[in-house]
Structure formats: structure tokens, C-alpha cells
Structure 1
Amino acid sequence: MLIEIILFSFIAGITVFLGGLISYFFEKTITNRVVKRKIVHFLTAFVTGIMLSAVAFVLIPKGMEGLNIGSSVVIFLLGALTFYYLDSFIEKNSANIPQVLAMLLDFIPESIALGALFVYDHNVGVLLAIFIAFQNFPESFNSYIELRNSHFSKYKSLVILFCLSFIGLIFSLLGYYLLKDTYEITSALMIFAAGGILYLIFQDIAPSIRIKNSRFLAMGVNLGFVIGMLSEALV
């Protein structure tokens, strides 16, 4: 069990570094600004679809299994309100790296839930790990660009993302050891994360997708959601 948690947490987290690495080569090889902008917006739409599918297929349905409807609604709204205030704090104190910090906002609670979920439902744990991995990849791609725009060097930007890729492993192990006997708390954490993620999607991510005369970019949301549908079917 523990080896599986370490393995899947590592797989889910290492895409933070891999996304940054791909973004590094992207920066070197693609010089057309219009093309760059469209790729970044498409990836943003893609991750939106994946985040929506994580909420729809794992966080809400599995979280509500361990809670009554009243508790679920309250915790869901509490998650949204918490992310609302954290988002406001990040906007004022983020040193121009809100994308990086926003990535951590959903990565950390999802990772805690991942570690605890393996105890109760192995397949759901694997499914959540897949969602996190796909979600982190485009988020870290954009985070690398953000770090570079904030005057971090290429090397420092990659080092930061490499270090962040192990955050999930640490918090998954914490979730396993601290929450493995508390299914209600794990359920509450998933509902809480779902509320926060939905807030982030429609406050920060979705409004940034649209580019004039480029309606096709929004199809990235559908493609991202398809990843969730396929993952749900396979697992």
C-alpha cells in the first residue's frame, strides 16, 4: 500500500517539473508571439476541462459518499470562500507569480486526499492520481512562463518547479498517516477542494481563455474533460 502511494504520488507530482521542462523547450523553439499565446490559452482551456472532470468524477461524488448533504453543501461553500480569500491574498502578495501559487492551492488538498483515498478505495486513488498528473502538466507549463516573465532565470525556474513536484508526495504521505482512519475527514477534504477548484476555474482560469476570433481554443475544455471521461472508464 505505502509503495503504491509513493509511486502514484510521484507520478502525479513529477508532471509539475515535466510541464516546466516542456515549457523551457517551447520558449527556445517557438518565437512567434501569436502562436505562443494561442498555445498557452489552449493549454489553459485543457487544464480547465481536467479540473472540471476531477470535480465531477472524483471529488464531489466520492466526497459526498462519506457526508450528508447538509455537511457537503456547507464544506463546499467553505472551500469556495477559503479560496476566495486566499486568491485575494495571492493577488496582493504574490510577487507576480499567482499561477504558481494557484497551482499549489489545488495540488496540496488533492494530494492529502490522494494519500488517504488509497486506504478506502484503491481505484479511486489511482483515478485521482491520474487527474492530478494531467492537471499539473499544463499548469506548470504556464507557471514556467510566468516565472520567466517575473525575471527568474531559466535554471531557477526549473529548479523551483522541480522542488514543487515533490510537494504532492509529502502531502500524500501526510494524508495516509494522518487520515487513513478518518473517512469523514477525507470526504470533507475532497468536497472542500472541489469548492475551491470551481471558484478558481471561474474566477481566474476560464476568463483568461478567450482570444478574439479564436473560438476553437475553448474546445480545449472539452478535450480536457474527455481525458477525465476516459480515465474514469479505464479505472
Structure 2
Amino acid sequence: MVAIHYALLLSLFAGLAIPLGGLLARFEHISNTVVEARFVKAVTAFGGGALLSAIALVLVPEGAEVLPVGLAVGLLLGGGVCFALVDAALARAGGSGALVLAMMLDFLPEAMALGALLVTEAATAKLLAAMMFLQNLPEGFAAFREIWTRGKLSATQVMLAFLFLAALGPICAGLGLLLLSDQPETLGAIMMFAAGGILYLIFQDVAPEAHETGAYAPALGAVAGFALGMAGNMVIG
């Protein structure tokens, strides 16, 4: 199978975890409301931990390796400022899509990296796709709950949006393979900008949503999510 086909299939595999997580959230039902609330918060925190691991172990290291310090710092800050403005606009519109934005900022640059890696490191690209799948599953679960419980979109509409996001993965992987495999600085800049946006969204929206006074499972969920990302990074490395 040629590299472009691998890129499309691997990124589609990773992306389909997003609607799969949404599907699990749609049919999840725990009769005890207190237990259910804590479970959902723990899954949200797990997704936040996975996002943080993407920043610390993939996006920032890959960007810092190929960019000068000043540009790297500027892009990181620029990503944070840009998505603070987006978040404020969403708040004024009466909705919150923080988890969806963070998931998109995590998934799409990693899909580009996956495509670029297939040229020189096919085995690493396959492991990256597996880790992306495991990260996207709880992120899709938490994002579906965040949107659906607000009642502005039906479950079908949310699932269609998630399928569309999953379909963007192969497009980004194809771009990474065809355009960015020999442009590490451009790919690094995209990753660093995305890292700034994700970092802002985690501390502004995701972490507060996962917190509950007197409950410890959500915070441990964040640790477990980061541990998952760290394990995948160590295996890839």
C-alpha cells in the first residue's frame, strides 16, 4: 500500500474515535445521578490530561526542535490569545465549544504530523495513530456531553459534526504527507500555535468543568490521561 493510502487510513482510524466517544456518551446511563456526574467529570478530566500530554510530549517538543526560541514563544502566546478571543466570542453567543476546539486543535495538527512521519518513520506514524485514537475517545465522549446537555443541538446533529471532524483527519494527513514532509518548520509552527490554544482552553474551560469539591476521581482522571499520553510517547520514542 502506498504512503498516501496509509496516511488516509491511519488518520481516519484515529478520527473515528471522536464519533465513537460521542456514541458512548449518547447511550451511557448510570442510574445514580451522583455517580454519573462524577463519572462524566472524571472522563472530562481524563480528556484534559490527554490534551495536556499532547502539548507537553508532542506539540511543543516537535515545534521547539525546529523553531527559533523567539518564534516558538510568539506562536505559543499567539495561539493562546487567538483562542481566548474565540472563546470570548463563543461565550457572547451563549454557547461553549471549548472541548470541541481543544479536540480539533489536538487532532488536526497531529494528523498532519502523522502524514509527514509516514515518509521517514512509518512505524512511529502507526503508533501515533493508535495513541491519537485512545486520546480522541474520551475527548469525544466529554465534548458530546458538553454540547448535547445544553440542548441547542440534537444528538444526531452533534454526531454529524463529529463525523465531519473525523473526516478532516485524512485531509490533514494528506496535506502533511504531500506538503509538509519536507517543511518541518511550517509543521512545527502549526503545532506550537495549536499548543498555545489548547493550553488556554484546558485551564479556562476544561479543568473547571471537571472539578468537583470533595471528589478526587476527576483529578486522578487527569493524571491517568497524561499517563496514557506519556506511555505512548515513551513507546514511540
TM-score of Structure 1 vs Structure 2, range by shorter chain: 0.7 to 0.9
8 Å CA contact 1:44–1:138 kept in 2: the answer is yes
8 Å CA contact 1:44–1:205 kept in 2: the answer is yes
What is the match of residue 44 of structure 2?
Answer: 44
Counterparts of residues 156-195 of structure 1 (less than 5 Å):
156-195=157-196
What is the match of residue 15 of structure 2?
Answer: 13
Structure-2 change in CA distance of 1:218 and 1:199 (3 Å): same
| Counterpart secondary structure, 1:166 | helix
Asked if 1:145 corresponds to 2:145, the answer is: yes
Q: Distance in 2 between matches of 1:56 and 1:105?
A: 14
Deviates more, 1:121-130 or 1:201-210: 121-130
TM-score by length of 1: 0.87
* Displacement of 1:124: 5.0
* Displacement of 1:211: 0.8
Q: Distance in 1 between matches of 2:127 and 2:16?
A: 16
Query: Taking every aligned residue pair, what percent have the same amino acid on both sides?
Result: 39
8 Å CA contact 2:51–2:102 kept in 1: the answer is no
Structure-2 change in CA distance of 1:86 and 1:152 (3 Å): closer
Q: Distance in 2 between matches of 1:96 and 1:74?
A: 26
Structure-2 change in CA distance of 1:164 and 1:231 (3 Å): same
* Displacement of 1:77: 1.2
Gaps of 5+ in 1: none
Deviations 1:176-199 (A, max 9, x none): 223222111011111111111111
Q: How many residues align?
A: 233
Q: Distance in 1 between matches of 2:82 and 2:48?
A: 20
* Displacement of 1:202: 0.9
Q: Distance in 2 between matches of 1:20 and 1:160?
A: 10
Structure-2 change in CA distance of 1:170 and 1:123 (3 Å): same
Asked if 1:219 corresponds to 2:220, the answer is: yes
8 Å CA contact 1:179–1:186 kept in 2: the answer is yes
Instruction: Give the AA of the match of 1:47.
Output: G
TM-score by length of 2: 0.86
